[in-house]
Amino acid sequence: MGHTLLELARDIAIHAGESALEARRGGVEVAATKSTATDIVTAVDRDTEALIRSLIADARPGDGVLGEEGDTIDGTSGLNWVVDPIDGTVNFLYGIPSWSISVAVVDGPPVPGEWTALAGVVVNPVTGEVFEASAGGGARGNGRELHVNAGIALDRALVATGFGYSAERRLEQAKTLVDLLPKLRDIRRIGSAALDLCAVASGRLDAFFERGLNPWDHAAGGLIVGEAGGFVGGLPGMPESDRMFVAAGPGLFETLQTAIADAERAAGIE
């Protein structure tokens, strides 16, 4: 019997994580900057994505691939793999143990809000944690069922966020926090959106949001949150997009969406 998509995604993500961890032991440095000087890539990001792509091509040559560090491959099967070889590259560079490999398989175009996520795996190679979900199959962390926190009031919510790489985006994000932070229990900035989402799915955080997130940052983690009983979306009434990504449990999700929209309006953000 062949692998299920979840088993294959898990094998690939674990293998890639072991390889990245091993490479890190040999030292790591910035190979290049991308959109801005703060947006970095290391040789390990590139090598890890190449490894993931070759494992996908060997197992499922007809599938498409959208990855952070390589060209998009349009497949023939209708399925697409959405891959972040190292999510949390700055943590990886500094040796902060919060970086991850994120691998998702989606049915349909690799466009948030248009795809149906089928399987998603996020691995933290440093802690050995493996978070995973398949559509309709629930979410697990190291084999244990995951459940989001439900019914959390906004002023009791521990909420993670992240910041993009352009100075303009960061100024908008900082202005949004001016209005939002006093309404929350607190904010966390962990540095890997995929791990933030797994933390929401595990109940270690109540919610996560970020403006300008890329599909590879949330494809796997978004499914894991949904299968753990949470919700993902954009601004109020909108699907998730690069404009806004919000994840939270029932009872908090819509309140937080509205609070973020209010904060952006107060900050004069279109």
Choose which of 172, 217, 240, 264 interacts with ligand IPD (CB under 6 A).
Answer: 217
Say which residues have a Cβ less than 8 Å from residue 223's Cβ, sequence separation at least 6.
Answer: 104, 117, 119, 120, 133, 134, 135, 139
Binding flags for ligand IPD, 40-79, as an x/- string (CB under 6 A): ----------------------------x-----------
68 is in an annotated binding site: yes
For residue 21, the surrounding DSSP H or E stretch is helix 5-25
DSSP secondary structure of 131-190: EEEETTS-EEETTEE-----S--GGG-EEEE---SSHHHHHHHHHHHHHHGGGSSEEE--
Could you say whether residue 88 binds ligand IPD (CB under 6 A)? yes
Nearer Cβ to ligand IPD (119/193): 193
Beta bridge partners of 81: 65, 105
Nearer Cβ to ligand IPD (68/172): 68
Choose which of 152, 193, 207, 223 interacts with ligand IPD (CB under 6 A).
Answer: 193
Binding flags for ligand IPD, 120-149, as an x/- string (CB under 6 A): ------------------------------
Q: Which residues define the annotated binding site?
A: 68, 84, 86-87, 217
Q: Which residues define the annotated binding site for Mg(2+)?
A: 68, 84, 86-87, 217
Q: Which residues contribute to the site for ligand IPD (CB under 6 A)? A: 68, 84, 87-89, 162-164, 191-193, 210, 213, 217
